[in-house]
């Protein structure tokens, strides 16, 4: 399920193109620098969650914003490259891991910390498998956009989860509900992709 094809996404990217990108200093508005900036904000996310869930929300939000702008800058400046695409994809995987690490920080006070750690680990594996399955399928000559929770929607989900936690800090019920739902959705996405890839790559 691709969020980029929605009307809301079209409006979002239009606003970035018209209002945000022109106001970024030229020295920073290079695709690879914006990609690295996204990683920088992702690195701040776990520390933000440690202070308060709202600061974690800001870390994920600014990281996602920079990630949206890097491809836009590559197209507008005609500086797209295969290495840039590789760098973007690689750092996205690190950012995905850091986002989940931020939520893991919130479980430190839980009586079921070990169970939560296992859940976060499984969520991380499923998240990386969603991205890997697509990359591997495309490397074998297939196309794979199937699955409910592509990266754009995963980031939106994590933003909503962290925002809800911002208004209910310390609410373990909200934290656990968000984690269980994330595991269900990512598992469903992995199954959908595996079934789709089996169809398109059957020799």
Report whether pLDDT(24) > 90. no
Write down the pTM of the prediction: 0.90
Q: pLDDT, tens digit, for every residue of 93-147?
A: 999 999 999 999 999 988 899 999 999 999 999 999 998 988 888 888 777 777 7
- Model confidence at 4, pLDDT cuts 50, 70, 90, reads low
Which residue shows structure tokens 């590559």? Answer: 74
CATH of domain 3-200: 1.20.120.1760
Q: What is the largest CA-CA distance in the chain?
A: 52
The structural domains of the chain, with segments of one domain joined by +, span 3-200
How high does pLDDT run on average in the chain?
Answer: 87
* Residue 92 annotated in active site: yes
Output the CA torsion sign for 61, 64, 70, 76.
negative
Give the per-residue pLDDT at 129.
Answer: 93
- Candidate list 67, 92, 96, 203, residue with the active-site label: 92
Please, where are the H alpha helices in the chain? 7-15, 31-51, 53-76, 82-106, 113-139, 151-167, 172-200
Distance CA 198, CA 203 (A): 10
Neighbours of 140 (CB within 10 A): 11
Distance CA 19, CA 160 (A): 24
Give the per-residue pLDDT at 47.
Answer: 96
Q: Would you list the DSSP string of 79-123?
A: ---HHHHHHHHHHHHHHHHHHHHHHHHHTTT-TTHHHHHHHHHHH
């Amino acid at each position: 399920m691709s969020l980029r094809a929605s009307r809301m996404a079209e409006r979002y990217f239009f606003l970035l193109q018209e209002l945000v990108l022109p106001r970024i200093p030229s020295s920073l508005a290079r695709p690879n620098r914006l990609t690295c900036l996204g990683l920088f904000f992702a690195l701040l996310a776990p520390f933000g969650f440690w202070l308060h869930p709202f600061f974690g929300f800001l870390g994920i939000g600014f990281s996602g914003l920079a990630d949206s702008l890097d491809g836009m800058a590559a197209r507008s400046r005609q500086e797209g490259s295969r290495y840039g695409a590789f760098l973007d994809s690689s750092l996205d995987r690190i950012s995905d891991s850091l986002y989940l690490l931020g939520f893991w920080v919130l479980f430190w006070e839980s009586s079921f910390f070990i169970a939560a750690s296992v859940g976060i680990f499984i969520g991380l594996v499923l998240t990386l498998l969603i991205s890997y399955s697509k990359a591997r399928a495309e490397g074998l000559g297939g196309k794979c956009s199937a699955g409910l929770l592509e990266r754009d929607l995963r980031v939106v989900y994590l933003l909503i989860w962290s925002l809800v936690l911002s208004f209910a800090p310390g609410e373990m019920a909200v934290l656990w509900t968000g984690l269980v739902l994330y595991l269900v959705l990512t598992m469903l996405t992995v199954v959908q992709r595996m079934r789709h890839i089996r169809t398109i790559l059957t020799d």
